[in-house]
Amino acid sequence: MSAGPPTRPRKLAVFGGGLGSLSAVFALTELPGWRERFDITVYQIGWRLGGKARSGRNLRAHARNEALGHHVWYGWYDNAFALARRVYAETRRAPGAPLATFKEAFKPCDHLLLGTGDRTDRTPPWKMSLPRGDSLPGDGAAQPSVWHFAQTLLLWAIDCIPRLHPQYATWSAIVPRWPDASRSLWPALMRRAGGQGVRAYDGFDPQRPDYDDLLRRAAAAVHGEDAPKTSRQRRAWAQPLTHCGEHSLRSLVGLGARQTHPQFTTMVDLALATVRGILHDGLDRAGFSAIDDQDLRAWLRRHGASEEALASTVLVALYADHMSYESGDAERPAAAAGALLRAALRRYLAFSGALYYIPAAGLGEVLFAPLYRLLRDRGVHFRFFHKLKHLCPDPKQPAVSAAVVGRQIELAPGVEEYEPLIKVKGLPCWPSRPLYSQIVLGDDPVIQAIDFEANESPEVEEVVLRAGVDFDDIILGIPPPALAGAARELAARDPRWEALLEHTHSIAAMGAQLWLSPTWAQLLGGPAQAGAGGIVRTELPRWVNLSTAAAYEGWPREHWPGAIASLSGPRPDRSADGSREPVRDIAETWLKSHPRALWPEASLAGADEFNWELLLDPQGRAAEHRLAAQHCWATQNASDRQIVTLPGDPRHRLAAGDSGFRNLWLAGDWVGGGLDLACAEGAVMAGLQAARAVSGDAIVIHGERDCIDSD
């Protein structure tokens, strides 16, 4: 914690208005007496907040919401949802106002639909359904330990295995199918467990085995008086069951189980490999980060996962969901094993309420507009159209002595402060373009052609903010891909910054937001149950049903959309000749190739070609030209690139409170010491860590560390 001047509040300059830095500001302004302690100013490039999660209303296209990215919030995002719920509790919109409550703003979903664009794969899409709980994300439910995850997976696998083949529905039928050597080894593992004080296998007679009774007793033992209590006992209890599960699965696969139950066979396969890996590598005592130098699929393979499971839709979709690819190339998946495994286990085994939630409109109006208004009302200052150009380290001490900022615009006469929000149907929203009436020469086509969210955008003035005068501390919420220039002197001073900039990998993203005339149910030919999912092995493998947003857009009755879809995926780095296929062409190819994979009723009668007339186009264009009326996008700016966590990357990341410069604090999903994975929860967690480091207060961060055994 750095010490500011005692006679006034510490001045905090916050650079970047993404979820990480805004979470830090929110947490600081939650502290008792914060106004006496801090004077906070947020400097934001361009005209809106939200970072990579921002969205805006296109006032030239019926105020429709246009966004970048894949905005699905999973039920395990406890810190992110706690933030959102507190924002809604404090803003207290009037009853009947649009999106007045948290429950109106975030729609729960219990089903994921996972399919493939591979036409040779005849396996139908898998609807993964998980039962909803009574709690809500943000309640602060206890975080399961690494051991609890392993135990849950193991017991689930043991429960599932007798259901994988109709002719082998009991353990007494399955175990005799094992190789003799494997069956002979099993009693030795049980005796070893008994030697560690595990009573679950007592009384087993290899000469007259009752395998079904044995497995029932072993599974029930974790809940009884004789439940294993130490780490050593728990591992000893698990080894015979893991051995049983692995050899039973292999036997049943050889008998055709994968053809009978392809998805569940794959899930059992992956579950058992995960359990074996946790036990073998001691993750129940070391935590998931211990395997971050390995790729997740390589780690699963090393612990016995089959090649069929490693190529399965569910695992490929996990990589696609986080766009975990080298250089954006889907043919080169790579992810730090611990970071991605932690996220996967929390996603499916530690969610609160529903499996995931979809914003009822764009995140701009669902989260960032109310958060902005709340922070402004609390007394936080915002300076839009201010871009960070350079951080200057003090030559005599490890501190930042100055920050060079480019002011991008002059405000129009009579405008004292830029007012960024508009209202659409009574809902405060961010526009997709600046409000030019507040800007000098705002009606000039040259000004309107400028991308004010790009680092390369012009500026009207360079401003130098000086330590001790304009700021005492800095919270940096700008990701490393956009810091190559601004942080170059930090990297020259501190080798850790050089490593951070070099080893923070990122990729561009792209997508298409589609407005269609039929409802989602009509496109499916049945009820719309899943709100999101994946169609792997396609250029745009992630999809979300955003149809609820139509009610908050400004469409006339004759052009009212029945469905809104978001498709997105990685944008590969440029080819050797520097060229890139236009996103609209990619979307056209996707719709021509995979319409039935998402919407069975979206094809022309008697053909497998997409019915282009389904796309909403007020101008009435024909065929694929109707894509011109949709929102096809690609991230162009360095700050918008998706951070990916490749094997080995986490060791180069800096913690929120360990920048190496005593008045510089870090916030964002690129910060180390938390999830080490790009997602909303990771950004909020890092923001809370920054607030804790700045303030010195004991700010509680749910799930910040893996729960591990210490004995």
Over residues 280-322, the pLDDT tens digits come to 999 999 999 999 999 999 999 999 999 999 999 999 999 999 9
Residue 431: CB atoms within 10 Å: 19
Residue 459 neighbours by CB distance under 10 Å: 16
Choose the weakest-confidence range: 255-264, 387-396, 598-607, 688-697: 598-607
The pTM score is 0.95
Query: What gap in Å lies between CA 571 and CA 544, rounded to an integer?
Result: 18
Tell me how far apart the alpha carbons of residues 462 and 279 are, in angstroms, rounded to a whole number: 57
pLDDT at position 173 is 96
**CA dihedral over 487, 492, 493, 497, signed as positive or negative:** positive
Helix, strand and coil percent figures for the chain, each rounded to 5:
40, 20, 40
Nearest to 388 by CA among 663, 12, 11, 46: 46
Residue 606 pLDDT grade (very low, low, confident, very high; cuts 50, 70, 90): low
Domain 10-59+364-490+655-695 part of CATH 3.50.50.60: yes
| CA–CA separation, 534 and 356 (whole Å) | 14
Q: Rounded to whole angstroms, how far apart are CA atoms 554 and 620? A: 18
Q: Which residue has the tokens 């490693």?
A: 310
pLDDT tens column, 528-581: 888 999 999 999 999 999 999 999 999 999 999 999 999 999 998 875 555 568
pLDDT computed for residue 580 by the predictor: 67
* CB contact set of 304 (below 8 Å; sequence gap of 6+): 246, 272, 273, 276
In this prediction, residues 259-276 reach a mean pLDDT of 95
Residue matched to tokens 């600046």: 434
CA 327, CA 333: separation in Å to the nearest integer?
10
pLDDT of residue 593: 87
Has residue 3 got a pLDDT over 70?
Answer: no
pLDDT value for 351: 96
The candidate with the shortest Cα–Cα distance to 419, out of 430, 404, 405, 409, is 430
Averaged over 133-156, what is the pLDDT? 94
Question: What's the whole-number average pLDDT of the chain?
Answer: 94
Q: Is the dihedral of CA 237, 239, 240, 242 positive or negative?
A: positive
The domain ranges of the chain are 10-59+364-490+655-695, 73-80+100-135+507-637, 146-349
Structure tokens that stand for 680 in this block: 């909303």
441: pLDDT strictly greater than 70: yes
Say what the pLDDT of residue 577 is.
54
> Could you give the CA distance from residue 439 to residue 108 in angstroms, rounded to a whole number?
40
Both tokens assigned to 313: 């839709």
DSSP state of 18: S
Element housing 466 (H / E): strand 461-466
In the chain, % of residues over pLDDT 70 = 97
Cα 77 vs. chain centroid, distance in angstroms? 9
Mean pLDDT of 119-147: 88
Full strand arrangement of the beta sheet holding 386-393: 386-393, 400-407, 461-466
608 has pLDDT over 80: no
pLDDT of 305 reads 97
Q: Which helix (H) or strand (E) holds 108?
A: strand 106-109
Tell me how far apart the alpha carbons of residues 131 and 355 are, in angstroms, rounded to a whole number: 8
CB 243 within 8 A of CB 154: no
Please say whether the dihedral angle defined by the alpha carbons of residues 355, 359, 363 and 367, taken in this order, is positive or negative: negative
Give the distance, in angstroms, between the CA of residue 333 and the centroid of all CA atoms in the same chain: 17
Which of 68-72, 99-103, 426-430 shows the lowest per-residue confidence on average (mean pLDDT)? 68-72
Q: Where are the alpha helices (DSSP H) in 467-516?
A: 488-493, 495-503
